[in-house]
């Protein structure tokens, strides 16, 4: 006789939400040292709930930063093993005055749970804990083998997890890595991400004379650092929106007809986007739609350009220095270091006469990519369809979660990204929230997936 999980979760809904509120009340902000104790408290809370759920070998591993939590339940002989990854740390809450209710006092309004971490990622991770607990309570066994690896440093780029992965490959070995830290396309439209862009960044400084100069005395006779910087930065793109750096596109995987069809199925409304953003037109590489540009093509963006006088009024000065901050979003199979090397070579080659530059490389992260035909992803799409009534579309996300590529490559396992958030849930912003419709359906979908694999 099959178990009615819909009835089970409905019966326990209030209890589950109260538990989640408890966890969300802990300000586990990994970026702020004053919250180190809170991050540890959130880790201990989760370890306790994993134990209550029936998981075994629940351990809190101290690192040079915040703790990593592992647990398992390995009694399904001959069945696949799923490694569930997530994070319990959250973003800072500034600006605080924009929150309608305090960020660490969870509140439900209009079918949405408001709190920092509600959708990124405590709320979504909590679904997995309760799905496993439900199966064990109802059926006394799991249909698959389960492992958990949960970190408290994702919001600060996971500095300690890569080393832990390298040192514990056997302990964490799995047939697939299950992650809920992404979004549906829209209400009722589930999605499975098959790609996350990688990242590299740099800071550029340009100098001309050894001092700022009077524009009347020297104007027209000496190089201007701002003029030189504007000229140099303009050389990075061509008229068609492509990055004009030799070697920048090396390794880029072209979009398959099947993937382009998946993008088209999203039926993304570019006209609505223009209207919503107050734009006359969109911008980008010719030959690609908006969703293709932001999900599956690499970019080079200026994040900050500054120099010279910026105070009130005017100052007739020729500035001696200018600065720029640049980030690139990368796709498979680009090498972040090779991209940085190509940009550095380009900048030196195009530096205007009379100027000299300093190039400082910063972040580096590889992109993640997976074939959507992989059976583990197809079964995830089936699970979504069985619960939501519509099959998940396969997408590529423009953002970066660097640890996903590291998990997949280190453990040689596919990463199955079954997100239950929505794009407008204000993750990283004031009034972050989680739609409870997807809390309810997420629990059922995860149970369904575990039974299908």
Indicate whether 280 belongs to any domain. no
- Which DSSP string do the residues of 348-370 spell out, in sequence order? HHTPPTT-EEEEEEEEEE--EE-
Tell me: do 40 and 88 sit in the same domain: yes
Indicate whether 264 belongs to any domain. no
* Structural domain ending residue among the three candidates 315, 332, 365: 365
**Inter-axis angle of helices 13-24 and 122-139, nearest 10:** 140
Tell me: do 213 and 320 sit in the same domain: yes
Tell me: do 71 and 176 sit in the same domain: yes
Number of H helices, E strands in the chain: 15, 18
Tell me: do 112 and 30 sit in the same domain: yes
* Structural domain ending residue among the three candidates 365, 382, 406: 365
List the one residue out of 352, 360, 359 whose CA is nearest residue 208: 352
Tell me: do 210 and 233 sit in the same domain: yes
Does the predicted TM-score (pTM) go above 0.85?
yes
Cα 283 to Cα 241: distance, rounded to the nearest angstrom: 7
Cα 57 to Cα 40: distance, rounded to the nearest angstrom: 19
Indicate whether 97 belongs to any domain. yes
pLDDT value of position 339: 98
CATH number at residue 173: 3.40.630.10
Tell me: do 103 and 24 sit in the same domain: yes
* Structural domain ending residue among the three candidates 365, 381, 410: 365
CATH number at residue 331: 3.30.70.360
Two tokens, residue 426: 């204000």
Indicate whether 231 belongs to any domain. yes
pLDDT value of position 160: 97
pLDDT value of position 402: 86
Q: Which strand ranges, in their side-by-side order, compose the sheet holding 107-109?
A: 107-109, 112-114, 433-435
- Which DSSP string do the residues of 26-89 spell out, in sequence order? S--BTT-GGGHHHHHHHHHHHHHHHHHHT-EEEEEE--SSS-EEEEEE---TTS-EEEEEEE--
pLDDT value of position 401: 86
- What is the total count of domains within the chain? 2
For the chain (length 453 residues), average pLDDT per consecutive 10?
90 98 98 98 98 98 98 98 98 97 98 98 98 98 98 95 98 98 96 95 98 96 98 97 97 92 94 96 95 96 96 95 98 96 98 98 94 97 98 92 94 98 95 98 98 97
pLDDT value of position 350: 98
147 in Cβ contact with 169 (< 8 Å):
no
Tell me: do 231 and 176 sit in the same domain: no
Tell me: do 164 and 189 sit in the same domain: yes
Indicate whether 262 belongs to any domain. no
Two tokens, residue 371: 């074939």
Tell me: do 178 and 205 sit in the same domain: no
Structural domain range at position 344: 198-252+298-365
Residue 25 Cα distances to 22, 102, 129, 435, angstroms: 5, 10, 18, 18
Tell me: do 336 and 388 sit in the same domain: no
Tell me: do 244 and 354 sit in the same domain: yes
pLDDT value of position 1: 45
pLDDT value of position 399: 86
List the one residue out of 292, 294, 290 whose CA is nearest residue 262: 292
| Residues near 170 by beta carbon (within 8 Å), at least 6 away in sequence | none
Detail the DSSP E strand segments found in 81-169: 81-87, 107-109, 112-114, 145-151
Indicate whether 34 belongs to any domain. yes
In whole angstroms, what separates CA 74 from the centre of its chain?
Answer: 29
Indicate whether 276 belongs to any domain. no
Indicate whether 270 belongs to any domain. no
236 in Cβ contact with 300 (< 8 Å):
yes
Tell me: do 378 and 310 sit in the same domain: no
List the one residue out of 167, 194, 179 whose CA is nearest residue 394: 194
Query: How close are the terminal C-alpha atoms of the chain, in Å?
Result: 20
């Amino acid at each position: 006789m099959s178990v009615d999980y819909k009835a089970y979760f409905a019966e326990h809904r209030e209890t589950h939400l109260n538990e989640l509120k408890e966890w969300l009340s802990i300000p586990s902000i990994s970026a702020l040292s004053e919250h180190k104790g809170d991050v540890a408290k959130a880790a201990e809370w989760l370890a306790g709930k994993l134990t209550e759920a029936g998981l075994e070998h629940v351990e809190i591993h101290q690192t040079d930063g915040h703790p990593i939590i592992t647990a398992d339940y390995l009694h399904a002989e001959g069945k696949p093993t799923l490694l569930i990854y997530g994070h319990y740390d959250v973003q800072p809450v500034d600006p605080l005055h924009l929150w309608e209710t305090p960020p660490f006092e969870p509140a439900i309004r209009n079918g949405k749970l408001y709190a920092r971490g509600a959708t990124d990622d405590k709320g979504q991770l909590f679904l997995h804990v309760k799905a496993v607990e439900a199966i064990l309570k109802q059926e006394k066994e799991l249909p698959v083998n389960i492992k958990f690896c949960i970190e408290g440093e994702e919001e600060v780029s996971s500095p300690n997890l890569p080393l832990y992965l390298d040192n514990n490959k056997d302990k964490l070995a799995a047939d697939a890595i299950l992650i809920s830290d992404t979004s549906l396309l829209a209400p009722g439209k589930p999605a499975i991400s098959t790609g996350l862009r990688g990242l590299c960044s740099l800071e550029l400084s340009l100098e001309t004379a050894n001092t700022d100069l009077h524009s009347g005395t020297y104007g027209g006779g000496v190089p201007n650092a701002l003029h030189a910087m504007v000229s140099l930065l303009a050389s990075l793109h061509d008229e068609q929106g492509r990055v004009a750096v030799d070697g920048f596109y090396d390794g880029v995987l072209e979009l398959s007809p099947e993937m382009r069809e998946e993008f088209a199925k999203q039926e993304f409304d570019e006209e609505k986007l223009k209207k919503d953003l107050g734009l006359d037109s969109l911008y980008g590489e010719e030959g690609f739609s908006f969703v293709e540009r932001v999900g599956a093509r690499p970019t080079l963006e200026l994040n900050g350009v500054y120099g010279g006088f910026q105070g009130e009024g005017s100052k007739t000065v020729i500035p001696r220095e200018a600065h720029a901050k640049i980030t690139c979003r990368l796709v498979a199979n680009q090498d972040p270091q090779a991209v940085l090397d190509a940009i550095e070579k380009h900048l030196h080659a195009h530096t205007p006469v009379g100027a000299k530059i300093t190039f400082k490389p910063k972040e580096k992260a590889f992109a993640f990519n997976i074939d959507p035909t992989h059976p583990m992803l197809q079964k995830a799409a089936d699970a979504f369809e069985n619960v939501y009534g519509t099959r998940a579309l396969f997408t590529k996300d423009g953002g970066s979660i660097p640890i996903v590529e590291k998990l997949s490559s280190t453990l040689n396992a596919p990463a199955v990204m079954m997100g239950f958030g929505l794009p407008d849930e204000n993750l990283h912003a004031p009034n972050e929230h989680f739609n409870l419709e997807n809390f309810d359906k997420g629990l059922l979908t995860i149970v369904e997936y575990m039974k299908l694999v």
